[in-house]
Protein backbone atom coordinates (compact mmCIF):
# COMPACT_ATOMS: atom_id res chain seq x y z
CA UNK A 1 0.00 0.00 0.00
CA UNK A 2 1.34 3.43 -0.95
CA UNK A 3 0.46 5.95 1.74
CA UNK A 4 1.11 8.83 -0.64
CA UNK A 5 -2.27 8.20 -2.29
CA UNK A 6 -3.96 9.22 0.98
CA UNK A 7 -1.71 12.19 1.77
CA UNK A 8 -2.87 15.76 1.22
CA UNK A 9 0.04 17.38 -0.61
CA UNK A 10 0.77 20.92 0.64
CA UNK A 11 -1.04 23.48 -1.48
CA UNK A 12 -3.32 20.94 -3.17
CA UNK A 13 -7.08 21.29 -3.51
CA UNK A 14 -9.33 18.93 -1.55
CA UNK A 15 -12.79 17.92 -2.73
CA UNK A 16 -14.10 15.27 -0.37
CA UNK A 17 -17.02 14.49 -2.67
CA UNK A 18 -14.56 13.15 -5.22
CA UNK A 19 -12.85 10.82 -2.73
CA UNK A 20 -14.56 7.46 -2.20
CA UNK A 21 -14.91 6.76 1.56
CA UNK A 22 -15.51 3.10 0.71
CA UNK A 23 -12.28 2.75 -1.26
CA UNK A 24 -9.96 -0.16 -0.42
CA UNK A 25 -8.04 -0.21 -3.70
CA UNK A 26 -4.75 0.59 -2.01
CA UNK A 27 -4.83 -2.90 -0.52
CA UNK A 28 -4.93 -6.12 -2.50
CA UNK A 29 -7.08 -8.29 -0.31
CA UNK A 30 -10.40 -8.63 1.51
CA UNK A 31 -11.35 -7.92 5.12
CA UNK A 32 -9.81 -11.17 6.35
CA UNK A 33 -6.50 -10.42 4.70
CA UNK A 34 -6.75 -6.85 5.93
CA UNK A 35 -7.17 -7.95 9.55
CA UNK A 36 -4.09 -10.17 9.22
CA UNK A 37 -2.15 -7.25 7.78
CA UNK A 38 -3.23 -5.02 10.68
CA UNK A 39 -2.08 -7.65 13.19
CA UNK A 40 1.28 -7.78 11.45
CA UNK A 41 1.70 -4.01 11.41
CA UNK A 42 0.49 -3.38 14.96
CA UNK A 43 2.85 -6.16 16.09
CA UNK A 44 5.64 -3.81 15.05
CA UNK A 45 4.12 -0.89 16.95
CA UNK A 46 4.67 -2.29 20.45
CA UNK A 47 8.49 -2.59 20.21
CA UNK A 48 8.69 0.76 18.41
CA UNK A 49 6.70 2.45 21.17
CA UNK A 50 8.96 0.87 23.78
CA UNK A 51 12.01 2.10 21.88
CA UNK A 52 10.53 5.60 21.65
CA UNK A 53 9.93 5.60 25.40
CA UNK A 54 13.39 4.21 26.23
CA UNK A 55 15.34 6.54 23.96
CA UNK A 56 13.46 9.52 25.44
CA UNK A 57 14.30 11.79 22.53
CA UNK A 58 11.37 11.96 20.11
CA UNK A 59 7.66 12.68 20.52
CA UNK A 60 4.70 11.48 18.44
CA UNK A 61 1.38 13.32 18.12
CA UNK A 62 -1.47 11.55 16.34
CA UNK A 63 -4.49 13.70 15.47
CA UNK A 64 -7.83 12.02 14.67
CA UNK A 65 -10.64 14.07 13.16
CA UNK A 66 -13.79 13.12 11.30
CA UNK A 67 -17.54 13.43 11.20
CA UNK A 68 -19.48 11.99 14.13
CA UNK A 69 -19.26 8.15 14.16
CA UNK A 70 -16.31 8.13 11.73
CA UNK A 71 -14.47 5.75 14.05
CA UNK A 72 -12.04 7.75 16.16
CA UNK A 73 -12.57 5.58 19.26
CA UNK A 74 -12.45 2.37 17.23
CA UNK A 75 -9.21 3.39 15.56
CA UNK A 76 -7.57 4.04 18.92
CA UNK A 77 -8.71 0.67 20.30
CA UNK A 78 -7.59 -1.35 17.29
CA UNK A 79 -4.33 0.37 16.39
CA UNK A 80 -3.00 0.73 19.93
CA UNK A 81 -4.46 -2.41 21.49
CA UNK A 82 -1.08 -4.10 21.92
CA UNK A 83 1.07 -1.25 23.22
CA UNK A 84 2.25 -0.70 26.77
CA UNK A 85 -0.02 1.97 28.33
CA UNK A 86 3.08 3.57 29.83
CA UNK A 87 4.14 6.28 27.43
CA UNK A 88 0.84 6.36 25.48
CA UNK A 89 -1.97 8.78 26.27
CA UNK A 90 -5.30 9.81 24.73
CA UNK A 91 -6.49 13.40 24.97
CA UNK A 92 -10.16 14.03 24.19
CA UNK A 93 -11.33 17.47 23.12
CA UNK A 94 -14.99 18.07 23.80
CA UNK A 95 -16.81 21.28 24.63
CA UNK A 96 -14.29 23.73 26.15
CA UNK A 97 -14.44 24.22 29.91
CA UNK A 98 -14.78 27.63 31.52
CA UNK A 99 -11.06 27.62 32.28
CA UNK A 100 -10.20 26.74 28.68
CA UNK A 101 -12.45 29.51 27.36
CA UNK A 102 -10.52 31.98 29.53
CA UNK A 103 -7.39 31.23 27.48
CA UNK A 104 -6.53 31.29 23.79
CA UNK A 105 -7.96 28.41 21.77
CA UNK A 106 -4.60 26.61 21.45
CA UNK A 107 -3.96 26.61 25.20
CA UNK A 108 -5.80 23.39 25.92
CA UNK A 109 -4.08 21.63 23.02
CA UNK A 110 -0.61 22.78 24.03
CA UNK A 111 -1.15 21.41 27.53
CA UNK A 112 -1.72 17.94 26.06
CA UNK A 113 1.09 17.64 23.50
CA UNK A 114 3.49 14.71 24.03
CA UNK A 115 6.58 14.86 26.19
CA UNK A 116 9.83 13.20 25.15
CA UNK A 117 9.34 9.48 24.63
CA UNK A 118 5.56 9.77 24.60
CA UNK A 119 2.80 9.06 22.08
CA UNK A 120 -0.31 11.20 22.47
CA UNK A 121 -3.49 10.65 20.46
CA UNK A 122 -5.80 13.63 20.05
CA UNK A 123 -9.41 12.39 19.81
CA UNK A 124 -10.65 15.55 18.10
CA UNK A 125 -8.21 18.39 18.55
CA UNK A 126 -7.37 22.07 18.18
CA UNK A 127 -9.02 21.81 14.75
CA UNK A 128 -12.42 22.04 16.41
CA UNK A 129 -11.76 25.79 16.45
CA UNK A 130 -11.97 25.96 12.64
CA UNK A 131 -14.76 23.37 12.43
CA UNK A 132 -17.45 23.54 15.11
CA UNK A 133 -16.80 27.19 15.94
CA UNK A 134 -16.94 28.07 12.25
CA UNK A 135 -20.00 26.00 11.35
CA UNK A 136 -22.04 27.20 14.31
CA UNK A 137 -20.75 30.78 14.02
CA UNK A 138 -19.47 30.77 17.59
CA UNK A 139 -16.74 33.17 16.49
CA UNK A 140 -16.79 35.60 13.54
CA UNK A 141 -15.05 34.81 10.24
CA UNK A 142 -12.32 37.39 10.81
CA UNK A 143 -11.35 35.37 13.91
CA UNK A 144 -11.48 31.76 12.64
CA UNK A 145 -9.97 32.65 9.26
CA UNK A 146 -6.70 33.62 10.98
CA UNK A 147 -6.47 30.33 12.80
CA UNK A 148 -5.23 28.27 9.85
CA UNK A 149 -1.99 30.25 9.84
CA UNK A 150 -1.75 30.12 13.62
CA UNK A 151 -2.26 26.35 13.63
CA UNK A 152 0.43 25.86 10.98
CA UNK A 153 2.83 27.98 13.04
CA UNK A 154 1.95 26.04 16.20
CA UNK A 155 2.53 22.68 14.55
CA UNK A 156 5.77 23.88 12.94
CA UNK A 157 7.06 24.86 16.36
CA UNK A 158 6.18 21.44 17.77
CA UNK A 159 7.93 19.77 14.85
CA UNK A 160 11.07 21.86 15.25
CA UNK A 161 11.12 20.90 18.93
CA UNK A 162 11.15 17.18 18.08
CA UNK A 163 7.50 16.19 17.69
CA UNK A 164 6.44 14.01 14.77
CA UNK A 165 2.88 14.94 13.80
CA UNK A 166 0.46 12.71 11.88
CA UNK A 167 -3.08 13.94 11.20
CA UNK A 168 -5.84 11.63 10.00
CA UNK A 169 -9.21 12.68 8.62
CA UNK A 170 -11.46 9.62 8.88
CA UNK A 171 -13.62 9.93 5.78
CA UNK A 172 -17.13 8.40 5.81
CA UNK A 173 -20.22 9.28 3.80
CA UNK A 174 -23.58 10.42 5.13
CA UNK A 175 -25.24 7.07 4.39
CA UNK A 176 -22.62 5.17 6.39
CA UNK A 177 -23.00 7.61 9.28
CA UNK A 178 -26.77 6.99 9.36
CA UNK A 179 -26.17 3.24 9.41
CA UNK A 180 -23.78 3.57 12.35
CA UNK A 181 -26.27 5.70 14.28
CA UNK A 182 -28.93 3.05 13.69
CA UNK A 183 -26.55 0.32 14.85
CA UNK A 184 -26.06 2.21 18.10
CA UNK A 185 -29.81 2.37 18.64
CA UNK A 186 -30.25 -1.37 17.95
CA UNK A 187 -27.41 -2.54 20.20
CA UNK A 188 -28.00 -1.99 23.96
CA UNK A 189 -24.25 -2.11 24.56
CA UNK A 190 -23.87 0.93 22.28
CA UNK A 191 -26.76 3.06 23.56
CA UNK A 192 -24.34 5.08 25.64
CA UNK A 193 -22.59 6.19 22.44
CA UNK A 194 -25.75 7.54 20.81
CA UNK A 195 -26.40 11.26 21.07
CA UNK A 196 -29.26 13.21 19.56
CA UNK A 197 -26.90 16.18 19.45
CA UNK A 198 -24.62 14.21 17.14
CA UNK A 199 -27.60 13.13 15.05
CA UNK A 200 -28.81 16.72 14.74
CA UNK A 201 -25.40 17.75 13.43
CA UNK A 202 -26.26 15.86 10.22
CA UNK A 203 -28.16 18.96 9.15
CA UNK A 204 -24.80 20.72 8.89
CA UNK A 205 -23.10 18.03 6.80
CA UNK A 206 -22.39 20.33 3.85
CA UNK A 207 -21.09 23.08 6.14
CA UNK A 208 -18.78 20.66 7.92
CA UNK A 209 -17.60 19.29 4.58
CA UNK A 210 -16.66 22.79 3.42
CA UNK A 211 -14.93 23.50 6.73
CA UNK A 212 -12.95 20.26 6.57
CA UNK A 213 -11.89 20.89 2.99
CA UNK A 214 -10.51 24.30 3.94
CA UNK A 215 -8.72 22.90 6.98
CA UNK A 216 -7.18 20.01 5.04
CA UNK A 217 -6.03 22.29 2.22
CA UNK A 218 -4.62 25.05 4.38
CA UNK A 219 -2.92 23.09 7.15
CA UNK A 220 -1.37 20.04 5.47
CA UNK A 221 2.38 20.66 5.55
CA UNK A 222 5.59 18.69 5.25
CA UNK A 223 5.98 18.87 9.02
CA UNK A 224 2.38 17.92 9.81
CA UNK A 225 0.69 16.15 6.90
CA UNK A 226 -2.98 15.27 6.67
CA UNK A 227 -4.07 11.82 5.53
CA UNK A 228 -7.59 11.40 4.14
CA UNK A 229 -8.42 7.85 5.21
CA UNK A 230 -11.36 6.04 3.54
CA UNK A 231 -13.25 4.85 6.62
CA UNK A 232 -16.52 3.24 5.55
CA UNK A 233 -14.68 -0.05 6.15
CA UNK A 234 -13.19 0.05 9.69
CA UNK A 235 -10.58 -2.61 8.91
CA UNK A 236 -9.21 -0.56 6.02
CA UNK A 237 -9.21 2.61 8.10
CA UNK A 238 -7.18 0.89 10.80
CA UNK A 239 -4.81 -0.57 8.24
CA UNK A 240 -3.95 2.82 6.74
CA UNK A 241 -3.57 4.55 10.11
CA UNK A 242 -1.41 1.82 11.64
CA UNK A 243 0.84 1.64 8.60
CA UNK A 244 1.40 5.41 8.61
CA UNK A 245 2.27 5.41 12.32
CA UNK A 246 4.69 2.49 12.08
CA UNK A 247 6.38 4.00 9.03
CA UNK A 248 6.82 7.33 10.84
CA UNK A 249 8.33 5.69 13.91
CA UNK A 250 10.68 3.54 11.83
CA UNK A 251 11.92 6.65 10.02
CA UNK A 252 13.19 8.17 13.27
CA UNK A 253 16.20 5.83 13.36
CA UNK A 254 15.78 5.25 17.09
CA UNK A 255 18.29 3.32 19.20
CA UNK A 256 18.23 2.03 22.75
CA UNK A 257 20.40 4.15 25.06
CA UNK A 258 23.76 2.65 25.94
CA UNK A 259 24.43 1.66 29.52
CA UNK A 260 26.12 4.44 31.42
CA UNK A 261 29.64 3.21 32.25
CA UNK A 262 29.66 4.90 35.66
CA UNK A 263 26.36 3.29 36.65
CA UNK A 264 27.54 -0.05 35.32
CA UNK A 265 30.69 0.25 37.41
CA UNK A 266 28.71 1.04 40.53
CA UNK A 267 26.48 -1.98 39.99
CA UNK A 268 29.46 -4.23 39.41
CA UNK A 269 31.22 -2.89 42.48
CA UNK A 270 28.13 -3.40 44.59
CA UNK A 271 27.93 -7.06 43.65
CA UNK A 272 31.61 -7.72 44.34
CA UNK A 273 31.41 -6.14 47.75
Model confidence at 212: pLDDT above 70: yes
Q: Picking from 45-54, 90-99, 142-151, 194-203, which range would have the lowest pLDDT averaged per residue?
A: 194-203
CA atoms within 13 A on the CB side of 35: 3
pTM for this prediction: 0.93
Residue range 35-41: mean pLDDT, rounded: 95
Average the pLDDT over 152-169 and give the result: 98
Cβ neighbors of 166 (< 8 A, separation 6 or more) are: 60, 61, 62, 63, 224, 225, 227, 244, 245, 248
- Architecture of the CATH domain 3-254: 3-Layer(aba) Sandwich (3.40)
Spell out the domain ranges in the chain: 3-254
* Other residues' Cβ atoms within 10 Å of the Cβ of residue 233: 19
**Residue-level pLDDT at 263:** 61
Closest C-alpha among 21, 126, 33, 4 to residue 71: 21
pLDDT tens digit sequence for 2-21 = 899 999 999 999 999 999 99
Amino acid sequence: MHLKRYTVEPGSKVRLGKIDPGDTSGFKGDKGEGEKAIDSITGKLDPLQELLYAEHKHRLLVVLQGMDSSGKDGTIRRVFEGVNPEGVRVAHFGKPSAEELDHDYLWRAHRQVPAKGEIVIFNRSHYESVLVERVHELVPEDVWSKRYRQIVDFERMLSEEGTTILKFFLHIDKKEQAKRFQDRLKDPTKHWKFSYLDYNERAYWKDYTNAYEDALERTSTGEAPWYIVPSNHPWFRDLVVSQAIVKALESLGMKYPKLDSAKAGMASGGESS
